[in-house]
Amino acid sequence: MSDAYKTFFNIAKDAERAMPILRFFSDSVWDIATLFLTMGYLTESLFLLELLIKYYKHTGNNEQLAAVQSNIAIVMKNRGDLDHALHLQQDYERVSSEFGNEKGISIAKGNQAVIQSVQGNYNRAMILHRQEESLSRKLKDNEGVMYSLANQGRILVAQNQFDIALPLLLESERIARELGHDDGLVASLGLQAHILTDKGDKKGTIKIHKECVQLCRAIGNKTGIAANLNSLALLFLDEEDLDSALVYCQESVQLIREIKDKIRLLGSLTSLGLIHYSRKDLTAALSTYKELEKISRELENTDVLQMSLKYQAVIFIALGKFDNAMNVLHEQENIFRQSGNSEGLAGNQVLQSLIQGNKDGILKEVAGLSVFLMNSGKLEEAMKILKEEERISRELGSNEFLSECLGCQAVILTKWDKLKEAMILFKEKERICLEIGNKDGIYACHVSQATIIANWVKQASLYLEKGDFENALNNFKNAYYNDPNDFLYSTQIGWCYFVLGNFEEAEKYFKISLKLKEEEHTFMNLGHIYLCKENHVKAINYYFKSIKLWENKDQFFSDFDSDYEYLKKHGISKEKYAEIKNELEKF
């Protein structure tokens, strides 16, 4: 906080001196309170807002009073008092409605939506955000539209509906750039980074996070800088660029220390510990996890506390300090017993047993138990045991056991119809099997991956029969991303995009298909696209190419006629259709 703001805040503390000047400077006090809120100075912001509450009650300005309560609600939300925050925002909406203040209604709906989203009420949140967006567009409030779109995108990303979220986020980004609104731009880009991460586009994700760092530096948003630096650190850790990961993470930790946010410090220190451990700098890693232990005790965060103790134990084992490891594990054991965490306790007991030198025996026992539970149909219990087996196998470098437990987890995920997650695990198992020379394991992975792809194609085909092209598209995309060399998948993706009216994406995937195989339907579909885009010459050209590949023209025209219902939906009249058909019949 600057000296000027500190001076202002100290004057404002004297209510008798501050109240008279509010008559002339209430707008400035509001601006500074809002600035404090944005910068994360919640106590200072709340003090000034409560001062304004007294002033507006004294003057009877109920409309402005409600606006101040709305910002107090944001403070309450940031402090975790969601019910109180929601009640204040609803009051703000009610008062704004009484005064016919549509801008206030829009803001109140947006803030309510954010709170509903935090509470997990996504459907209600989306309704409110759409109402906010509609009002903002009506009022030509581009900033309101920008935030509404970004927040809708945030909810959709949380629900893994990335294809629906992305257009909203791109529009939000466009508006933010037009307005020169760096905060809004950071919000939109951060969510796009999440989508790119899910699609495996690490280069694109890194590029976005770097831009966000620059934007946050420009506006002095230390929290944003630290968050994006931490994300970069983890991305480079995943790429095994440990030096870059360390540089980014150390700056993130430094910034979080400066703003004295112990909750965020837990996350940055967790990343730093992993990086030190990956660099085999066990002394630095141990020091980091001890600091994590200290802070998590202060915050009474048992999840981070037990994690920090676990990694300390692993490091002590690596250093050969078995007595230290046992002491830490005993402490972790007490935490698990007190919280009734049977799964964590089982892992703790396994590590204690491992210290006594029975590594293979323990892993075999755990693996045997998980297989028994799977065969008994107790899949949830089996998954918990398999997760513990995976963790232990990774810590001890036992790739043979790791590959088997990953495969078992993938089988369970397949039974649960979580095919994306299963595919990721089968691919990791395949990579490990290649490393250890397990040919049978590699073959089994190939069969399992092919089965998942076939399942996606089957689901997509069922959706096509129902006319549900969006769900069909998503399933064909899953198949394509895992087997891009099968022209069927890119062709079907192109067809779904065409039916849905996204001609650019349709053209892109049809042309991918042509590179794999020159097929008559693909040429015909490209003709459809150019016909809809009113490019008569190109349309005819592609239709001619299609006709050449058919055994006879009757087959071509049979398919051509069956596609007219889709062409009609895209604005192709009967007259235009007949004109094109007559020209093609001359070929």
**151-165 tens-digit pLDDT:** 999 999 988 888 899
**283-337 tens-digit pLDDT:** 999 999 999 999 999 888 888 888 899 889 888 877 778 788 888 888 888 888 8
Angstrom distance (rounded) from CA 383 to CA 421 = 13
Tell me what pLDDT residue 324 has. 87
**343-400 tens-digit pLDDT:** 777 777 766 766 665 445 545 555 555 565 666 677 887 787 778 778 777 876 778 8
Angstrom distance (rounded) from CA 267 to CA 283 = 20
Average pLDDT of 199-210?
Answer: 90
Tell me what pLDDT residue 357 has. 55
Angstrom distance (rounded) from CA 164 to CA 112 = 22
Query: For residue 424, what are the contacts with CB-CB under 8 A and spacing of at least 6?
Result: none
Largest CA distance in the chain: 94
pTM higher than 0.75 for the full model? no
Tell me what pLDDT residue 230 has. 93
Average pLDDT of 549-571?
Answer: 83
**572-581 tens-digit pLDDT:** 888 888 888 8
266 neighbors 295 (Cβ within 8 angstroms):
yes
Average pLDDT of 479-498?
Answer: 90
Decide if pLDDT at 249 tops 90: yes
pLDDT band, very low/low/confident/very high, at 15 (cuts 50, 70, 90) = very low
Average pLDDT, the chain: 82
Average pLDDT of 126-155?
Answer: 93
Angstrom distance (rounded) from CA 189 to CA 173 = 7
CB atoms within 10 A of CB 341: 16
Angstrom distance (rounded) from CA 85 to CA 156 = 23
Tell me what pLDDT residue 11 has. 46
Top-confidence residue, 489 or 31 = 489
Tell me what pLDDT residue 300 has. 86
22 neighbors 64 (Cβ within 8 angstroms):
no
- Selection from 36, 41, 67 nearest residue 52 by Cα: 67
Q: By percentage, how much of the chain surpasses pLDDT 70?
A: 83
What letter represents residue 345's amino acid? Answer: L
228 neighbors 251 (Cβ within 8 angstroms):
no
What letter represents residue 218's amino acid? Answer: A
Top-confidence residue, 49 or 139 = 139
Virtual CA dihedral for 550, 552, 557, 558, nearest 10 degrees? -90
580 neighbors 547 (Cβ within 8 angstroms):
no
Q: By percentage, how much of the chain surpasses pLDDT 90?
A: 26
Angstrom distance (rounded) from CA 139 to CA 148 = 14
Tell me what pLDDT residue 363 has. 52
Q: Which of 131-135, 222-226, 376-380 has the highest mean pLDDT?
A: 131-135
Decide if pLDDT at 62 tops 70: no
> In the chain, helix, strand, coil percent, each to 5?
85, 0, 15
Decide if pLDDT at 8 tops 90: no
Q: What is the DSSP letter of 257?
A: H
Angstrom distance (rounded) from CA 87 to CA 27 = 25
Tell me what pLDDT residue 314 has. 82
Average pLDDT of 444-466?
Answer: 86
Ranking 2-16, 186-200, 307-321 by mean pLDDT, the lowest is: 2-16
The secondary structure of 142-168 as a DSSP string is HHHHHHHHHHHHHHHHHTT-HHHHHHH
Ranking 252-256, 258-262, 305-309, 361-365 by mean pLDDT, the lowest is: 361-365
